[in-house]
């Protein structure tokens, strides 16, 4: 067994799990901007729970992508080119979502805000769905030829697994977002988030459980099946904590669910990183898709220095902004701005 | 257009667009960090206001760089899968490091800076901005290491038809990168300099126009006050200081780009002689630098090009540092390239319809010739304008002329133009290679890739066209939104970025209060949202 490619397979699994754990809740909070939040103040409460951290969370996606490029260039090239249109959709969603976070509050106008609210909500939904579909397909396979290129046209990637994976990440993110809101807000939003969490947990975790279980049927091993069982236990524990009002523990238990679920999925896929549905001989594996040991060794050193640092300062960020947000903290919108600016502007002559 | 051409247009459009936001982020970030440091040291209210105002514009722009940056990382795999497969072993590492060691730092600490005005101690808060700024400089370094490897591959061996990294030190200290990094950073600072200069000019002009500032008998400005929040004497200090900082930054960065650009040019004459010959539209060997060449410089037929004004010796000086060494022109290089890298593309399916076609070693000379001159021209104009601005504002404000004000505002675009032209020149000048061969005679010269072989074979022209149209449309819409927001906040002045000015009486000392831990001390119930969305 090749040591370095295995380490990097695990590293990439860790990066994706970190991405889903962190961006999972800000995607969820983003989706909840519509449907859950009832008015502008509540929307601003939601936004400010993720405001200081969402951009840092999104870098986990870039790091997962970059690390895949560096460690498994053939995996990166085949997956990203085969999923051309869905990833385009993810990109557009992420662009609008990012810009919306920053621009929403910059003009005090309900129509302006409503547009960006939709951008945040739909952008989060589409991004979560697309990332989930891509991750599911990398475990269940794409119609790749011997060169690793997609056969069968722009939509040949489509399968039930794409939908299942998409729903899995959407469902998990929504639930994780609710857990995060229950933990990070106060007042009505907090209690409603907890109620929704308890009520919706079984439905929202169903698709991700379906993905994990179907992968066990395809290529599971004993330990990965046990991981699925443990994940289910973690979900029950999370539900129970939430019911009792222990929001922090519910959030962490859901995190444990993700960790175990993701271990079961990546573990079952190993050592194949991207199967070909046309011919198993075309499968991309950790051996035939990886970079040289020299590059992997270099990246290992960099990751051993970089990743603990990232975890440390991101943890510190969460500590700095640990306080719960409630509508009492939301200052008035910058409504003075148009008035002042209008007065301050030179009379148009 | 076939898939390759669409993919190239898409890469060009998305990259040039991304690189409108990025230099402003890098340059303005550094400027804001310096200004906040000055506030931290002196406690002068104008520095706090400058930090808030320029910081606001910085953030409006920053997010666009972030949003469009994700496209950059994804499209290597999406549209250029063969390229990714070929270079992955060496090119992926700097990209991954950029995310792990730079983007995380930048985004996390910027989040702390935006939201941490009251949660963090002032020194820690300031340090967060500095760390974010250093992070963005590191990201420039890593991405330029990656790009420089495409310009000048080093530190690899060919194993099974692909370059494999054997010497990371060589890759990360590639001399091409070591000169391109400072060149790019100075280019970014030039953008920030012109940005400060133009906007500050506008505000100083408006203060005169509104009759707030007047000119005394000695020709010096007499700053005044208006009964509107934020339009006091401190406001005058904000703009005149911003203007001076902008002008000085613009001049320093022009000098920096000139020095580093000269080093870069000398390297390029060795590493990619054809690019530099094409920059000159120089068909024949010679020593003269063309000020103006006419005829069809884009023609593949060199006889069409006539140099109308040529300064003898200058080309040799740019290339070699003396005035007499002959620099090779396109015609003699062409024979050399054909001998070294073949006359026709190989009969390999990865070239698609282009397999077997004759290789066009001469880049599109209209682009390289004018790109090179626009880069230098825009940069030089901006530097001269900055010098003129310092002279014109020596009495403490700007002239009352509306035309000059407009010129200063539109001058903001000059360094943007120089940056775009420079990148278009360097990337188009590398064609027909996506990884240019390194002519060093150490055996590495077989590490190269034609752009025609780099595009994703499995992706259809229709998919690429879809993404080209979608991304261009999205970017166009967002550019309009960003510029509108920037204009709104620029016109609003300091008070738009500092709502607290509208609520407290415009007492000079009030501004500095939070620094000393006044009303914003951590521990208060209502201070969660310093910079709320």
- Are residues B533 and A76, on separate chains, in Cβ contact within 8 Å? no
Cross-chain residue pair A291–B458, CB shorter than 8 Å: no
Give B-chain residues touching A85 at CB under 8 angstroms.
Answer: 463, 466-467
For residue A97, the model assigns a pLDDT of: 96
Q: Which residues of A touch B468 (CB under 8 A)?
A: none
Whether residue B477 lies inside any domain: the answer is: yes
Place of tokens 């040591």: A3
- Please give the residue range of the domain that contains residue B434: 1-173+429-500+514-533
Q: Does A152 touch chain B (CB under 8 A)?
A: no
DSSP string, B49-93: HHHHHHHHHHHHHHHHHHHHHHHHHHHHHHH-HHHHHHHHHHHHH
For residue B323, the model assigns a pLDDT of 82
| Assigned domain for B268 exists | no
How high is the pLDDT of residue A340?
44
Judge whether B222 lies within some domain. Answer: no
ipTM for the predicted complex comes to: 0.91
Kindly report the nearest CA distance between residue A303 and chain B, in angstroms.
8
Domain presence at residue B361: no
DSSP for residue B155: S
Chain A residues 50-109 within an 8 A CB cutoff of chain B: 51-53, 55-56, 58-59, 61-63, 65-67, 69-74, 76-85, 87-88, 91-92, 94-96, 98-99, 101-107
pLDDT level of residue B516 (50, 70, 90 thresholds) = very low
The burial of A296, by beta-carbon neighbours within 10 Å (0-12 exposed, 13-18 middle, 19 or more buried), is given as buried
CB atoms near residue A322 (< 10 Å): 10
**Bigger pLDDT: A164 or B497?**
A164
Is residue B156 domain-resident? yes
pLDDT (tens digit, 9 = 90+) per residue, B145-168?
999 999 999 999 999 889 999 999
**Stretch B471-489: mean pLDDT:** 96
What is the rounded CA–CA span in Å between residue B413 and residue B194?
8
Kindly list the distances between the CA atom of residue B363 and the CA atoms of A34, A193, B282, B307, B332, in Å, as whole numbers in the listed order.
Answer: 51, 60, 12, 18, 15
pLDDT score recorded for residue B298: 55
Q: With contacts defined as CB-CB under 8 Å, which chain B residues touch A4? A: none
Q: Which residue, chain included where needed, has tokens 């200090």?
A: B237
Contacts of B457 in chain A (CB under 8 A): 147, 149
Q: Would you say residue B24 lies in a domain?
A: yes
Query: Over the stretch B395-435, which tens digit does the pLDDT of each residue have?
Result: 999 999 999 999 999 999 999 999 999 999 999 999 999 99
For the entire predicted model, the pTM comes to 0.92
pLDDT confidence tier of residue B303, bands split at 50, 70 and 90: low
Give residue A308's region: left, alpha or beta (phi > 0; psi -120 to 50).
Answer: alpha
Say if residue A348's pLDDT is above 80.
no
Separate counts of helices (H) and strands (E) for chain B: 18, 8
What is the distance between the alpha carbons of residues B530 and B259, in angstroms, rounded to a whole number? 42
pLDDT at B197: 97
**pLDDT for residue A61:** 96
Q: For A38-75, give one letter per residue: b (16+ CB within 10 A) or e.
A: eebbbbbbbbbbbbbbbbbbbbbbbbbbbbbbbbbbbb
Window from A17-21, A129-133, B362-366, B443-447 with minimum mean pLDDT: B443-447
B259 pLDDT above the threshold of 70: yes
Contact B135, B176 (CB under 8 A): no
Count of CA atoms in the C-beta half-sphere (13 A) of B398: 35
pLDDT of B343-359, one tens digit each?
999 888 888 888 888 99
Cα A318 to Cα B127: distance, rounded to the nearest angstrom: 18
For the cut 80, the answer to whether the pLDDT of residue B306 exceeds it is no
State both tokens at B133: 């700024």
Chain A residues near residue B74 by CB distance under 8 angstroms: 65, 80, 87, 91
The whole-number pLDDT of residue A332 equals 65
* pLDDT digits 0-9 by tens, B154-213: 999 999 889 999 999 999 999 999 999 999 999 999 999 999 999 999 999 999 999 999
| pLDDT score, position A331 | 72
For residue A144, list its beta bridge partners: A150
Q: Do B96 and A345 touch (CB under 8 A)?
A: no
How many independent structural domains does chain B possess?
1
Q: Which of B74, B104, B164 sits opposite A292 (nearest CB)?
A: B164
Secondary structure class of B318 (helix, strand, coil) = helix
CA distance A50 to chain B (A): 10
pLDDT for res A315: 95
Give the model's pLDDT for residue B286. 79
Does the pLDDT of residue B36 top 80, yes or no?
yes
Residue B64 and residue B53 in contact, taking contact as beta carbons nearer than 8 Å: no
Which chain B residues have a beta carbon less than 8 Å from that of A323? 528
Average pLDDT of span A190-216:
95
CA dihedral B287→B293→B296→B298, nearest 10 degrees, is 60
CA distance B162 to chain A (A): 11
Residue B416 CA to residue B38 CA, distance in Å, equals 27
For the CA atoms of B37, B41, B47, B53, the dihedral, rounded to the nearest 10 degrees, stands at 30
Cβ-based contacts of A67 with chain B (< 8 Å): 96, 99-100
Q: Name the burial class of residue A172, with classes exposed (0-12), middle (13-18) and buried (19+) by CB atoms within 10 angstroms of its CB.
A: buried
Closest residue to A84, CB basis, from B84, B206, B463: B463
Q: Do B111 and A51 touch (CB under 8 A)?
A: yes
| Minimum CA–CA partner of B56 in chain A | A106
Quickly state the pLDDT bin for A173 (edges 50, 70, 90): very high
Decide if B59 is inside a domain.
Answer: yes
Three-state SS sequence of A106-148: HCCCHHHHHHHHHHHHHHHHHHHHHHHHHHHHHHHCECECCCC
Residue B229 falls inside a structural domain: no
Per the prediction, chain A carries an average pLDDT of: 92
Task: Tell me the pLDDT tens digit for each residue of B212-234.
Answer: 999 998 889 999 988 888 889 99
Number of Cβ atoms within 10 Å of the Cβ of A221? 13
Q: What is the DSSP string of A151-202?
A: -S-TTTT--HHHHHHHHHHHHHHHHHHHHHHHHHB-THHHHHHHHHHHHHHH
pLDDT of residue A235: 97
- Whether the pLDDT of residue A189 is over 60: the answer is yes
Sequence-separated (6 or more) residues with CB below 8 Å from residue B286: B315, B326, B327, B329
Which pLDDT belongs to residue B302?
A: 67
* Smallest CA–CA distance from A53 into chain B, residue: B111
Tell me the C-alpha distance between B74 and B11, whole Å. Answer: 11
Reply yes or no on whether the pLDDT at B250 is more than 80. Answer: yes
Is pLDDT at B444 greater than 60 in this prediction? yes
Which of A47, A295, A344 is closest, CB to CB, to B89? A295
What is the H or E stretch that residue B372 is in?
A: helix B365-392
Using one digit for the tens of pLDDT, what is the confidence trace for B116-153?
998 899 999 999 999 999 999 999 999 999 999 999 99
What is the pLDDT at residue A108? 87
Beta-carbon separation of B119 and A321 below 8 A: yes
């Amino acid at each position: 067994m090749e040591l370095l490619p295995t380490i990097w397979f695990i590293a990439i699994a860790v990066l994706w799990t970190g991405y889903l754990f962190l961006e999972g809740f800000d995607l969820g909070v983003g989706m909840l901007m519509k449907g859950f939040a009832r008015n502008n103040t509540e929307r601003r409460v939601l936004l400010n729970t993720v405001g200081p951290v969402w951009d840092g969370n999104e870098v986990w996606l870039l790091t997962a992508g970059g690390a895949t490029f560096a460690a498994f260039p053939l995996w990166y090239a085949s997956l990203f080119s085969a999923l051309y249109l869905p990833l385009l959709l993810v990109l557009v969603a992420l662009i609008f979502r990012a810009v919306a976070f920053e621009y929403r509050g910059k003009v005090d106008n309900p129509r302006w805000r409503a547009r960006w609210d939709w951008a945040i909500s739909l952008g989060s939904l589409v991004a979560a769905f697309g990332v989930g579909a891509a991750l599911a397909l990398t475990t269940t396979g794409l119609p790749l030829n011997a060169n690793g290129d997609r056969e069968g046209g722009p939509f040949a990637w489509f399968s039930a697994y794409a939908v299942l994976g998409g729903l899995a990440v959407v469902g998990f993110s929504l639930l994780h977002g609710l857990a995060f809101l229950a933990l990070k807000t106060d007042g009505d939003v907090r209690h409603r988030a907890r109620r929704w969490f308890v009520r919706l947990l079984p439905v929202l975790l169903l698709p991700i459980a379906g993905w994990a279980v179907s992968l066990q049927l395809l290529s599971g091993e004993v330990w990965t099946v046990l991981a699925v069982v443990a994940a289910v236990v973690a979900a029950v524990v999370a539900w129970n904590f939430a019911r009792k009002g222990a929001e922090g523990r519910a959030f962490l238990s859901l995190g444990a669910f993700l960790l175990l679920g993701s271990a079961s999925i990546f573990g079952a896929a190993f050592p194949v990183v991207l199967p070909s549905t046309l011919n198993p001989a075309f499968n991309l594996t950790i051996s035939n898709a990886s970079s040289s040991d020299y590059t992997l060794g270099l990246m290992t050193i960099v990751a051993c220095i970089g990743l603990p640092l990232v975890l440390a300062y991101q943890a510190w960020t969460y500590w700095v902004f640990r306080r719960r947000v409630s509508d009492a903290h939301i200052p008035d919108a910058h409504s003075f701005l148009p008035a002042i600016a209008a007065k301050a502007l030179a009379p148009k002559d | 257009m076939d898939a390759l051409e669409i993919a190239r247009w898409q890469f060009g459009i998305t990259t040039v667009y991304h690189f409108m936001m990025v230099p402003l982020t890098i340059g303005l970030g550094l400027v804001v960090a310096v200004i906040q440091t000055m506030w931290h040291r002196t406690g002068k209210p104008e520095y706090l206001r400058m930090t808030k105002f320029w910081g606001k514009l910085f953030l409006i722009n920053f997010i666009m760089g972030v949003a469009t940056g994700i496209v950059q990382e994804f499209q290597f795999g999406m549209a250029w899968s063969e390229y990714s497969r070929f270079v992955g072993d060496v090119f992926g590492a700097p990209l991954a490091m950029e995310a792990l060691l730079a983007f995380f730092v930048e985004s996390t600490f910027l989040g702390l800076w935006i939201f941490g005005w009251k949660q963090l101690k002032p020194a820690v808060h300031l340090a967060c901005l500095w760390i974010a700024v250093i992070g963005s400089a590191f990201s420039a370094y890593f991405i330029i290491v990656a790009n420089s490897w495409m310009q000048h591959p080093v530190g690899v061996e060919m194993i099974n038809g692909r370059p494999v990294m054997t010497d990371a030190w060589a890759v990360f200290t590639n001399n091409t990168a070591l000169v391109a990094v400072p060149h790019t950073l100075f280019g970014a600072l030039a953008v920030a300099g012109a940005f400060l200069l133009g906007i500050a000019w506008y505000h100083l002009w408006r203060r005169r126009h509104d009759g707030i500032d007047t000119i005394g008998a000695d020709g010096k400005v007499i700053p005044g006050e208006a009964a509107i929040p934020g339009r006091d004497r401190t406001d005058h200090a904000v703009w005149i200081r911003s203007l001076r900082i902008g002008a000085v930054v613009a001049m320093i960065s022009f000098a920096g780009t000139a020095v580093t650009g000269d080093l870069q040019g000398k390297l390029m004459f060795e590493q990619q002689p054809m690019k530099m010959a094409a920059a000159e539209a120089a068909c024949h060997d010679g020593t003269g630098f063309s000020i103006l060449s006419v005829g069809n410089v884009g023609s593949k037929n060199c006889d069409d090009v006539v140099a109308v004004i040529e300064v003898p010796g200058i080309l040799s000086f740019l290339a070699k540092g003396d005035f007499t060494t002959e620099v090779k022109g396109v015609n003699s290089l062409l024979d050399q390239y054909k001998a070294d890298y073949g006359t026709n593309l190989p009969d390999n399916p990865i070239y698609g319809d282009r397999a077997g076609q004759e290789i066009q070693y001469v880049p599109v000379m209209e682009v390289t010739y004018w790109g090179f001159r626009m880069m230098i021209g825009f940069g030089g104009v901006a530097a001269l304008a900055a010098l003129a601005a310092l002279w014109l504002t020596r009495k403490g404000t700007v002239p009352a002329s509306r035309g000059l004000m407009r010129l200063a505002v539109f001058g903001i675009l000059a360094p943007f133009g120089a940056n775009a032209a420079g990148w278009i020149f360097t990337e188009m000048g590398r064609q027909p290679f996506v990884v240019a061969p390194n002519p060093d005679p150490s055996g590495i010269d077989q590490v190269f890739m034609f752009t025609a072989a780099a595009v994703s074979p499995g992706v259809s022209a229709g998919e690429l066209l879809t993404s080209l149209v979608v991304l261009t449309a999205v970017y166009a819409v967002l550019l309009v939104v960003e510029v509108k927001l920037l204009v709104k906040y620029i016109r609003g002045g300091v008070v738009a970025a500092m709502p607290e000015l509208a609520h407290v009486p415009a007492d000079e000392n009030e501004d500095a209060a939070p620094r000393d831990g006044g009303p914003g001390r951590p521990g208060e119930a209502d201070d969660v949202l310093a910079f709320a969305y």
